[in-house]
Structure 1
Amino acid sequence: MAPKFMLKLTFKLVMLGKVLFRKMQLLCLLLLLFYLCRAQTPTCPRKCHCDLAGRVQCYRVGEVPKEIAKTTRGIYISHGKIKHLQVTDISSMSALEEFVLTWSGTESVENNTFKALDALRTLELRKNKLRHIPTLLPGSLEVLKLGDNLISVVHESHFEGLQKLRVLEIQSNVILALSFSTLSSLSSLQSLTLDGNNMEYVSGTFYLPNLKYLSMENNKLQSFSGGFFISLCNLLFLNLNGNLLTSTPSDLPASLLTLKLERNQLKMLKFGDMRQMAHLSELFLSENQLSSLEGVEFLSSLTRLELSGNKLQIIPSRLPVTLQKFDCSNNLIERIKAQDFRELHSLKHFFLDNNVVATFEDGALQNCTQLSNLALEQNLLSSIPLRLPHTLARLDLKGNSIQRIKEQELKNLRHLQVLNLRNNNISTIDHSLWKYLPRLRYLYLDSNPWNCTCEFLKTRRVLTAKGIDVKGGKCKAPSESQGESWMSSRKVLHLCAHNNLYSLEEGEEIGKNTSVDNPSSLRVNMDDYYDYEIY
């Protein structure tokens, strides 16, 4: 028995040894593979972050790190100190698709630095001190961003061979004059940005059949030669804000959807010459010197018209029926007539603040059956306009001369969520009026001369019970309540309770449920700003 037992034990030990040996072999093999892979994986440079997708991001480096692998697909360097960019910095990185060097004080780029990078699609050298556009860029380039440098001259040779370039940005440089013929070789260009160059003159015609976005904002352009835009047959967006234009450019392309002409010197516009712009959806004309607009009805697809900060005394006649947002704030308009809004069934946002409107015809906006926001603050209104659309969600009447709120003014506004009556001459409001505003959430009543009688405190009780956030203001009368906040003052409650005209217990219960005039307890910031698009 003993010899058989020993044989079995020996056999098991031998088999166990073989298993352990194989596992040791496998472990050694895995360790060897790990070290081999690690040896072949490039070390990520100091002050950089490297990811598995082949992108390297570096911050505050003094040169393009030499440890960056040749297989890197994207290099992103910011806030460095790289005064000169040389061929040897990146020429061997044949797989490079994106090179971004910003905020690094770069003054020059050696010739041919990017020439051999056949995979390069994006080159971004913004926020540096370059005086010249890099030469001999690769034909694979699709995006070139050179904004915020010191470039003063643009030559046709800079763009030779860039048949695939889609985006070109040269904003905030010092290009005082530009001949657009230098760009005509960029047949695939879709977006061109030339903002903030103080350009005084542009010349030449250019054929860019695929250009969709053109921005020349904040220059010193006074005019354009005839036919300047005629070849841009696919242009959708044109931004000429902040120039010295006294008239709209002629021959604007019929394809335009958005036209920006704010902060120029326009005095009068006749849109009869722009009949071809049947697709125009957005027109920005704020902060000019416009006193009249004629023929705006020819813009038959217009949904947004911005006219704030001009010298208009009347609402332009025959506005397009497609209009959805109309801003006429900061003008000299005195009167609102129903005939100007009879066909505006699609209007949603109407801004008329900071005018001198004293007359608002009854039912002037009743056909605007989609109107949700109406801004009438800082005018001369003595009452809330009658028969406003029931769709209103926000109504601003701050800074008028309203003395009394009447039932017929509110009874149709069942969707109203925000009502601003600040800084008027209202002294009391009937507590029964709030039943007509079932959806009211925010109410601004401060800076009015409130007469805090015990009867008026019923308004306080109703507003609190409805859970409305109220900025109530302070009492002006009677004298014993002067300066007290009528929505939260316990002194006012005690005075009324003493006269048995108001239940102190009810007042105390209200105090437990809310503290309306305490800003820290409110759900929203009680200022005048709201995002008009949320309603």
Structure 2
Amino acid sequence: MKLSDLPNELLNLIFSFIPTDDLYRQFTQIHELNYSKDFPSIYSVIYKQLFSRTLIIRTAKGVGYDTIRQFYSSNELANALVITSFATGYQILKILIDGHFHSNLRISPNEITLLLRYMDSIEEIENFIKVLEQLSFDSFTSNVIKTINFQIIYDANPTNELLALHNKIKYMMEDMIHKSEKILIQTKKNSKWYQPMNPYLLRNLKELYLWNNDIDNLAMNGFFKCVPDDLKILEFSGNNTADLQGFVLPQSLKRLHLSTNMIRSLEGVDFSKCSNLQLLDISMNRLIELPTDLKFPDSTKRLMMNHNQIENINQSQVPSQVQFLTLSSNCLTSLDNIYLSSSLIVLDLSDNTFSSFREDFFSECVNLKKLNLAINAIDDLDDLGQLPPNVEELILDYNEIDNYDFTNILTLKKLKKLSMTGTGLMFLKDIKFPSTLVQLILKDNEINEIINVDFGNSLEFLDLSYNKLENFNVYGLRLPSTLKKLDLSENGFQDLSNFIIPSSITTLYFNRSNLCLSNNLLSKFPEQLEFIELIRAIPKSVPKLNFSKFHNLVSLNLQKNGITSIEKLDLPNGLQILDLSQNCIRQVSWKSIPATTRHVELRGNPIENQ
């Protein structure tokens, strides 16, 4: 039995499992070879399967973030028909129109999205205009295409030719943006020539993204005179707006992004009416104080006010159901007047000037998983008060802690990550860390002794880099067999007589160790290592560095070691990545590199042969 003999119901089922790209290739082959008459049932099924999906017509992906992901998830993109040429998109639309009026194939995409970059060729921009002309065909567009979305990227400096094309595009878009549910307009570099669209035409808009378009107060107030009633997402980031007076927010709004502007005040905006608001981002502005009558809606789950100059905040400005609260990089010194909600999951108070907290400040935060108090003025761990009982990640980096009483930290029953980078710790002694601890980061301190320390039963990563350790001996330390990753870089190790690496380690960082890189040192490393990083390890003159004993080694980084020849390395079979950057290698002997190696980095070497 041939495929064409199968009933349409079964064909539909079969082709529903075929990826969109493969389905499009099959359709193109049948259509171009005019097989549609020979296999009408197969052609019809593929046609209906393919063109009932979302249709995206765009230019090829540029450098950096692909803005199309702002509209669609990875799964949605995988199921969509994505055409990366406006010339091809024009032909696709011709096929759709022809099928609609001259056959019984009255199928249309559930939505069409067009993405144009002005840095594209003039020919491609002209093809984009041809696509708009097809979509402006009234009998087809008004009756068949329900949604037409746009992404316009201004990433080229305006020329007379581009401006003429832009004006034509703007007028054509305004004829059809009443069908738009999503619009994104972004300006890149210094190509400031964005012109706002008529806001009264955006009546069906649900998502609006205006990024880096140099929109000032006057332009903003004019644009938002008529905010769409059903707008759910508004991203107004990277503009020049300083004043929000007259800014009317629709009740339907769920996400509001106002970050990276020059907003100095939130006066004149009634956030409380946005009863559906879930996310509010006003980070990276110039806020110093908040209006006393300001109230964010209780529906707000994520509130981001980081990177401002806020000096005070009151209780009414903390939403009662907030889950993610970010107040980092402000000028806060105290929050003793605030009572936190049990709904909090993540709290970031880093980069302020807190020195202490009310004893019961965190007591109600029973659902808090991550607490970031880095870069403050905390010098006594007791001043943290009663810490959240179920916190899993605690960050205390770059506080000058001089009290070594860890009691309130060590009693945390669910702590998985503790980071105390740059806190001035000089030793660890007689400490029993929580058994749940998975990551312990103590880098950039002055630790010179570790005595009688129990690291729990679950530790996987221990970072002791940038300290003053002169020896490292597992005896006297209770390191669990779960420990796989160890960083001992930038310490002051003196000799190998009191140096033992735990046998469980599979990833070792040992950069600038103060010990000569020699076979004697390598003999101290566990044989099951999979990743070794030895940058600036001061190699000792030996006939050959023997790495062959590390049978599981996958990646070896030997940057900046003065190595003169690859032949002086005995490398294991199975090695996949070898980094020899910035050494003194003049000749490359490929026979010395295992056949399994798929990446060799040699930049910064005075190589003479190619």
Q: What is the TM-score with the length of structure 2 in the denominator?
A: 0.63
Kept in 2: contact 1:269–1:293 (CA 8 A): no
Does the CA contact (< 8 Å) of 1:193 and 1:216 recur in 2? yes
- Is 1:303 aligned with 2:392? yes
Tell me, what secondary structure is at the counterpart of 1:94?
helix
Structure 2 contact 579–601 (Cα < 8 Å) conserved: no
| Residue 330 (structure 2) aligns with | 243
Q: Say if 2:214 and 2:239, in contact at 8 Å, map to a contact too.
A: yes
| Amino acid aligned to 2:568 | S
Q: Which residue of 2 aligns with 1:489?
A: 568
Contact 1:289 1:311 in 2 (8 A): yes
Aligned pair 1:283/2:283, yes or no?
Answer: no
Q: Which amino acid aligns with 2:303?
A: L
What do the CA deviations read for 1:74-122 (whole angstroms, capped 9, x no partner)? 1221107679999996366432211222217467747xx3345442211
* CA distances 1:35-81 after superposition (whole Å, capped 9, x unpaired): 9944989xxxxxxxx9883222233279x967453655212211076
- How far does the alpha carbon of each residue in 1:335-380 deviate from its partner, in whole angstroms, 9 at most, with x for none? 21333x34x1111111111100112113x134x2111111111111
Label 1:109 to 1:425 Cα distance change in 2 as closer, same or farther (>3 A): closer
Structure number with greater Rg is 1
CA contact (8 A) 2:419 2:441 kept: yes
Counterpart residue number, 2:549: 463
Match of 1:29 in 2: none
Match of 1:323 in 2: 415
For these two proteins, the number of residue pairs brought into alignment is 447
Alignment correspondent of 1:76 = 151
Q: Give structure 2 stretches of 5+ with no counterpart.
A: 1-36, 38-93, 102-107, 119-124, 156-162, 582-587, 603-610
Deviation at 1:260, TM superposition (A): 1.2
Distance 1:287 1:127, change over 3 A: same
Residue 219 of structure 1 and its aligned partner are, at CA, apart by 0.8
Shift of 1:449: 6.2
**Helix, strand or coil at the partner of 2:378:** coil
Name the CA shift for 1:84/1:326 in 2 (closer, same or farther; >3 Å). farther
Q: How far does the alpha carbon of each residue in 1:201-233 deviate from its partner, in whole angstroms, 9 at most, with x for none?
A: 11223251211111112111111134431xx12
Q: Which residue of 2 aligns with 1:338?
A: 430
Contact 1:156/1:183 (CA < 8 Å) preserved in 2? Answer: no
CA change 1:423–1:101 in 2 (3 A) is closer
Distance 1:282 1:56 in 2: 40
How far, CA to CA, are the matches of 1:430 and 1:304 in structure 2?
39
The C-alpha deviation readout for 1:146-189, integer Å capped at 9, x for no partner, is 11112222246522xx1211011111222101148621111111
Kept in 1, the 8 Å contact 2:313–2:335? The answer is no
Check conservation: 1:488, 1:511, Cα contact below 8 A: no
Residues 95 and 517 of structure 1: CA distance in aligned 2, closer, same or farther (over 3 Å): closer
Is the contact made by 2:235 and 2:257 (CA closer than 8 Å) also made in structure 1? yes
Q: 1:121 aligns with which of 195, 206, 211?
A: 206
How far apart, CA to CA, are the structure 2 residues paired with 1:292 and 1:83? 63
Change (3 A) 1:107 1:174: farther
- TM (norm. structure 1) is 0.71
2:495 — aligned with what?
404
Q: Distance in 1 between matches of 2:112 and 2:417?
A: 46
Separation in structure 2 between the aligned mates of residue 403 and residue 273 of structure 1, nearest angstrom: 46
- Whole-angstrom distance in 2 between the partners of 1:365 and 1:485: 43
Q: 1:416 to 1:525 in 2, by over 3 A?
A: farther
Distance apart, 1:441 and its partner CA: 2.0
Distance 1:164 1:348, change over 3 A: same
Pairing 1:166–2:254 present: yes
**For residues 36 and 180 of structure 1, what CA distance do their matches in structure 2 show?**
49
Offset of 1:266 from its aligned partner? Answer: 2.3
- Change in CA separation of 1:436 and 1:471 when aligned onto 2, cut-off 3 Å: closer
What SS does structure 2 have at the residue aligned with 1:338?
strand
**2:486 partner amino acid:** L
Number of the residue aligned with 1:205: 294
Distance in 2 separating the partners of 1:116 and 1:127:
22
- Displacement of 1:277 in angstroms is 1.4
CA offset at residue 472 of structure 1? 7.1
1:104-503 equivalences under 5 Å are 105=192, 109=196, 113-115=198-200, 117-130=202-215, 131=217, 132-133=220-221, 134-155=224-245, 158-159=248-249, 162-179=250-267, 182-203=270-291, 204-229=293-318, 232-248=319-335, 250-294=338-382, 295=384, 297-314=386-403, 316-319=406-409, 320-339=412-431, 341-342=432-433, 344-362=434-452, 364-366=453-455, 368-386=456-474, 387=477, 388-405=479-496, 409-410=500-501, 413-426=502-515, 434=523, 437-444=526-533, 447=536, 460=546, 463=549, 489=568
Q: C-alpha separation between the residues in 1 aligned to 2:247 and 2:578?
A: 68
Matched, 1:55 2:113: yes
Label 1:409 to 1:180 Cα distance change in 2 as closer, same or farther (>3 A).
farther
> In the alignment, is the contact (CA less than 8 A) between 2:506 and 2:528 conserved in 1?
yes
1:258 CA drift (Å): 0.6
CA contact (8 A) 1:470 1:516 kept: yes
Q: How does 1:32-47 map to 2 (within 5 A)?
A: 37-38=97-98
Tell me if structure 2 keeps the 8 A contact 1:180–1:205: no
Aligned CA distance change for structure 1 residues 207 and 467 (closer, same or farther; 3 Å) = closer
| d(CA) in 1 for partners of 2:225, 2:174 | 15
Residue 196 to residue 408, structure 1, CA distance change in 2 (3 Å): closer
User: Is the contact made by 1:377 and 1:397 (CA closer than 8 Å) also made in structure 2?
Assistant: yes
SS in 2 for 1:318: helix
Matched residue SS, 1:184: helix
Q: Report the residue type matching 1:236 in the other structure.
A: Q
8 Å contact from structure 2 (residues 325, 346) kept in 1: yes
Q: Equivalent residue of 2:317, what SS?
A: coil
Deviation at 1:426, TM superposition (A): 3.2
Displacement, 1:484?
A: 7.2
How far residue 308 of structure 1 moved from its aligned partner, in angstroms, is 1.5
The letter for the 2-side match of 1:208 is P
- Match of 2:360, SS? helix
Residues 383 and 404 of structure 1 are in contact (CA less than 8 Å); yes or no, is this contact kept in structure 2?
yes
Secondary structure of the residue aligned to 2:418 is strand
Query: Do the aligned partners of 1:156 and 1:182 also contact (CA within 8 Å) in 2?
Result: no
Residue type of the alignment partner of 2:271: L
Q: 1:228 to 1:414 in 2, by over 3 A?
A: same
